[in-house]
Amino acid sequence: MRLRNISGSKEIIAQSALVVHEPERAKGKWQDIFGSANPLRIEIGMGKGKFIHEMAAQNPEINYIGIEKYSSVLLRALQKMEETPLSNLLFLRMEAENITEVFERQEVQRIYLNFSDPWPKERHAKRRLPSKEFLERYDRILKKDGTLEFKTDNKELFEFALEQVPLAGWEIVEVSYDLHRDRKMMEGNIMTEYEEKFSSKGNPIYKYIIKRQQ
């Protein structure tokens, strides 16, 4: 998602107390930053932040970090925090490839990927957020029994993501090829911006939950 460059978004983000600047310095210290030992869950590629904002509002006993590479998009998430401030939600403006520089081993309890960019060209497969290259990065920051949840309406990306799971030494916990008709997996489901858009067009939503092979 790339919104037209909103002028001044970089400056606003640079001054925001809701965005952690130099996050490498927070590595291993996220509990201190939040001021609580509550579990930490992150969304990579959060877009405008509807999903993670609602998650954080519903679960005050969990700490959340929303990660987004574009300032113009992240700005929208900051605006939601002005309307409804939450003390358990922070943001990082960064490229997800560098995730292991920001979180210590086993520092994260759950990772969410929602409607990740498909990178349809084969030569860009390594850039896909559910690729085995990214799963190796997640492996380094996620708790032993931690989980990764991925939703998309892109069938090719979902099939690719499913293939990557065993290759990276992970296993499926739950899977749905039509989330919105799956009563069990829909329990507590929070719709993302893209999920609202694409499900209203009639697209089925795919979802998996995965963890490392024991």
Spatial distance between the Cα atoms of 51 and 57, rounded to a whole number of angstroms: 10
Query: Does 138 help bind ligand SAH (rule: CB under 6 A)?
Result: no
The angle subtended at Cα 52 by Cα 129 and Cα 105, nearest 5°, is 55
The answer to whether residue 153 forms part of the interface with ligand SAH (CB under 6 A) is: no
Q: Does 68 bind ligand SAH (CB under 6 A)?
A: yes
> Please, what's the b/e burial string for 171-181 (b: 16 or more CB within 10 A of its CB; e: otherwise)?
eeeebbeebbe
Sheet holding 170-176, edge to edge: 89-93, 63-68, 40-44, 108-114, 142-152, 206-212, 170-176
If binding is defined by CB under 6 A, does position 64 make contact with ligand SAH? Answer: no
CB atoms within 10 A of CB 170: 20
Nearer to ligand SAH, 63 or 114 (CB): 114
**Given 117, 145, 153, 182, the catalytic residue:** 117
CB of 98 to ligand SAH, least distance (A): 9
Give the nearer residue to ligand SAH in terms of CB position, either 51 or 170. 51
Residue 67 as a binder of ligand SAH (CB under 6 A): the answer is: yes
- Decide: is 95 part of the binding site for ligand SAH (CB under 6 A): yes
153 classed as catalytic: no
Tell me which residues are annotated as active site: 117
Residues in contact with ligand SAH by CB under 6 A are 1, 45-47, 67-70, 73, 95-96, 114-117, 192-195
